[in-house]
Amino acid sequence: MANREERAAAVRHAFPPGSGVEEVGGVDLQTFRVDRKVLPAFARHLKDDPALDCRLLSDLCGVDYPDREQRFDVVYHLYSIDRGHRIRVKVPVREDDAVVPSLVSVWKAADWFEREAFDMFGIRFSGHPNLKRILCHPAFHGHPLRKDYDPGQRWLLREGEQLAPSWADEVQEDEDHFETQVLNLGPSHPATHGTLRAVVRLDGEVITQAEVEIGYLHRCFEKMAEQHTWNQVIPYTDRLNYCSAMMNGVGYALAVERLVGVTAPPRAQVIRLILSELSRIMDHIVDIGANLNDLGAMTPFLYMYEAREEIYSVLEACCGSRLTMSYVRIGGLSFDVPDDFESSVRYLLKRIPRLLDDMERLITDNRIFRERTEGVGAMSAADALDWGWTGPCLRASGVAYDIRKAEPYLGYETYDFKVPVSHAGDTYARYLVRVEEMRQSLEIVAQALGRMVPGPVIVDDHRVALPPKEEVYTEMESLIWHFKLVMEGMKVPRGEVYGYTEAANGELGFYIVSDGSGSPYRIKVRPPCFAIFQAFEHMLPGHMVSDAVAILGSMNVIAGELDR
């Protein structure tokens, strides 16, 4: 707590009481309530003061409190990579004057997050360069995450109303009368994987201008979460990053468990960790495979997909589902693993490295692959942080930030593994980092297998977990708990929490607000690839069209997580 005091002093020094900055009790994170007039200066101070050093804007979102006079809160979550602390900033605004100064000039990462808050709540950000809807389609009316918006109210988009960038119709001509050409990539394009769209201006084959459109898979996760009980949200979390469904559920459950104050039993933690690491491998396989596929190399994908199928069979044996597992429960897991779990995972530990070696022999020193990826889409460490990058993409740019090391959960501090880092920051570096991460994940799994202690897989706490069936049939009290949990759902104490885990793409954050009822008041997901992908349109100018495909593949943009 001493550090917390130091930070409070550093803030008080620049913003004395009465200047619009006030520290309010934050249970999980140090929280400041800030008047919007001083917000830009305060944000700049947070970033530049060496005692605060908040260089990473991890999340920005709105929250709606219709009963309050100042109806909306804009909530910022900040992180200091070097000092390892997090700060939450809240800016309350009134509904009739919902304007907040934009922080794009302080953190570039604010760009899309502010657009999302505008889209969802109608909060305007003054000074934002391109404030328009980002997830909902342009013919949409209203702001869906406001509490008074009916969750089923749809609006029809006609074909002619689709959005093109304002510059798409301009004709540019140089003195030799060479015209530039505007090219639309996606949303249905083999390299954009169905749901991403980029409009680029070409001078010859070189991109001079680009704009990205997302939201083609916006399926309203956050609104749906508010309509369901706490445990019913888990199947929705599986469909965020569906390439590694387990990790989303674990991240969500850990955040809610922090709010409730329970911890999963040791056996459940080890199983969660093993399956999370296997999911990380699956995710990297899809990313590398799809990236190579887009570059014209079909074989590695076919080779590596075999590893995925092998992992699928283990997952299916655990919970009956291959892809979207819904295996996690708040407080543990839904069932124990099958008896042959250890032996089948040991088989994977033997099999996957061989497939990895096969792939590496084909790709790592492949001249075509290296020439298409080395130096392509390079990102410096400072820029990557400014854009809010996390995960393998950030580590490929030379910042060794991995939540498993920085703020361990599930007992990661007791495992011996390395965090691969590269300094090139280009597409090839991102490939190398992912390959090494897969090998490190295998290391972790091998160590975890030795720690499979026998015991229960869900907490023995009837506020959160269903009592065992035999007790329900024989004991009155258990029957009552069962009834209440099924009919009303578990109750989570009033409060808020920002939970974060290292998912396959980076920091997966869940900002959860509870009003004490049986369903969440607000869940904001901090999707790692949302922050990563917003840099894409700024990386493109100067590259060729074919490079755009290589860069996009290396970012591992998963639409379910991007658009939610």
Partner 1 sequence: MGDDAVKPSPPPTAGAGEGPGAARRRPDGSQIFLTTRFEQMLNAARKNSLWPFPMGTACCGIEFMSFMMSHYDISRFGAEVVRFSPRQSDLLIVAGTITDKMAPVMVRIYEQMAEPRYVISMGVCACTGGFYRAYHVVQGIDEFIPVDVYVPGCPPTPEALLQGVVKLQEMIERGETQYQRAIAARKAAQAAVGG
Summarize as ranges the residues that interact with partner 1 (CB under 8 A): 135-137, 140, 144, 149-159, 162, 187-190, 193-195, 215-220, 223-224, 235-236, 239, 242-243, 286, 302, 305-306, 308-309, 312, 322-324, 559-560
Number of Cα atoms under 13 Å in the Cβ half of residue 244: 29
Q: How far is the CB of 224 from partner 1 (least distance, A)?
A: 6
Q: How far is the CB of 358 from partner 1 (least distance, A)?
A: 14
What is the C-alpha separation between 298 and 531, in angstroms, rounded?
A: 29
Q: From start to end of 42-164, where are the E strands?
A: 56-64, 72-79, 86-93, 99-101, 124-126
On whether the CB atoms of residues 407 and 500 are closer than 8 A, the answer is: yes
Structural contact between residues 215 and 135, judged by C-beta atoms closer than 8 angstroms: yes
CA dist 236 and 248 (Å) reads 9
Nearer to partner 1, 301 or 387 (CB): 301
Q: How far is the CB of 137 from partner 1 (least distance, A)?
A: 4
Closer residue to partner 1 in complex, CB, 59/294:
294
Q: Yes or no: say if 254 and 273 are a contact pair by the CB < 8 Å rule.
A: no
Residue closer to partner 1 (CB basis): 195 or 229: 195
| 85 vs 193, beta carbon nearer partner 1 | 193
Nearest distance from residue 564's CB to partner 1, in Å? Answer: 10
| DSSP sequence for 336-374 | PPPTTHHHHHHHHHHHHHHHHHHHHHHHTT-HHHHHHHT
Minimum CB distance to partner 1, residue 142 (Å) = 9
Contact at 8 Å (CB) between 51 and 10? yes
Q: How far apart are CA 353 and CA 105, in angstroms?
A: 45
Return the number of the residue (200 or 243) whose C-beta is nearest partner 1. Answer: 243
Q: Least distance to partner 1 from the beta carbon of 188, Å?
A: 6
**In angstroms, what is the minimal distance from the CB of 136 to partner 1?**
6
CA–CA dist 476, 455 (Å, integer):
25
Comparison of 204 and 320: residue with beta carbon closer to partner 1 = 320
Rank residues 221 and 431 by Cβ distance to partner 1 and give the closer one: 221
CA distance 60 to 50: 22
Indicate the Cα dihedral angle 278, 306, 217, 105, nearest 10°. Answer: 60
The residues that bridge with 100 in the sheet, in sequence order, are 125
- What whole-number distance in Å separates Cα of residue 400 and Cα of residue 418? 10
The CB-side HSE value for 111 (13 A sphere, CA atoms) comes to: 18
Least Å distance, CB 6 to partner 1, is 45
Q: Which is nearer to partner 1, 154 or 177 (CB)?
A: 154
Nearer to partner 1, 140 or 536 (CB): 140
Q: Please report how close the Cβ of residue 218 comes to partner 1 at its closest, in angstroms.
A: 5
